[in-house]
């Protein structure tokens, strides 16, 4: 199995870890070879894939770095009128979502097994109604902080593709990352924090299913931070 490797991402600092874990089973490799090409959305075909959805009035949601896919699949299963784009460079996670799509017969997911940034440059302006960046790679070492995905360059790309009033949801279990997320977002004129009380960022909303990364953090004694912003008018 091989992932897309756009030229744009090759010129940017890598914001994610490994691409592959265990060797895929024959069935998993078959799904990646047959089903993934049918669902793939990338910089080269983004406009052709998205334009009919926008013309039909279909809401488009985007999850960046969906990990094992629990959140992506849950949202797709509970919002049949929405099309979700899931981007994840780690192929094990992509295969898990492909398996769920096949077993649950989900027809409202599109996938990219690579860096999201070239896709964000290619999507039509004001096309995304909701975006998620949940528990991204924390890059905890000081020398690696510059690789953290949620920073001004990503927010600039999101601001272009998100509709006015669209919601941006972020989560992390790393306190320092939550701080740098908030600093970047509070300084960005395109986003407004919706929190009115501590529970708004300390407690995960009911329509925000728990991921395996959150479960791991809880087991290891780390709290989650759940941030919601809206794209300004």
Residues 133 and 67: their CA atoms lie apart, in Å, by 10
Residues 22 and 225: their CA atoms lie apart, in Å, by 30
Residues 69 and 94: their CA atoms lie apart, in Å, by 7
Could you list the active site residues? 137
Residues 156 and 160: their CA atoms lie apart, in Å, by 7
The angle that helices 91-104 and 70-78 make with each other, rounded to 10 degrees, is 30
Residues 100 and 21: their CA atoms lie apart, in Å, by 19
* C-alpha closest to that of 137 among 204, 70, 65: 65
């Amino acid at each position: 199995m091989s992932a897309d490797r756009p030229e744009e991402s090759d010129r940017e600092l890598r914001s994610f870890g490994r691409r592959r874990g265990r060797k895929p089973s024959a069935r998993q490799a078959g799904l990646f070879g047959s089903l993934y090409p049918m669902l793939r959305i990338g910089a080269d075909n983004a406009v052709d894939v998205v334009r009919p959805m926008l013309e039909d009035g279909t809401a488009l949601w985007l999850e960046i770095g969906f990990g094992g896919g629990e959140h992506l699949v849950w949202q797709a299963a509970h919002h049949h009128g929405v099309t979700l784009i899931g981007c994840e460079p780690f192929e094990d996670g992509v295969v898990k979502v492909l398996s769920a799509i096949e077993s649950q017969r989900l027809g409202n997911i599109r996938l990219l097994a690579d860096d999201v940034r070239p896709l964000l440059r290619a999507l039509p302006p004001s096309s995304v109604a909701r975006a998620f960046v949940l528990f991204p790679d924390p890059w905890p070492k000081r020398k690696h902080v510059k690789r953290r995905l949620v920073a001004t360059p990503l927010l600039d790309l999101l601001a272009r593709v998100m509709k006015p009033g669209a919601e941006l949801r972020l989560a992390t279990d790393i306190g320092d990352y939550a701080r740098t997320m908030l600093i970047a977002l509070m300084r960005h004129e395109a986003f407004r924090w919706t929190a009115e009380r501590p529970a708004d960022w300390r407690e995960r909303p009911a329509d925000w299913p728990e991921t395996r990364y959150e479960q791991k953090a809880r087991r290891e004694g780390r709290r989650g931070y759940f941030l919601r912003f809206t794209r300004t008018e």
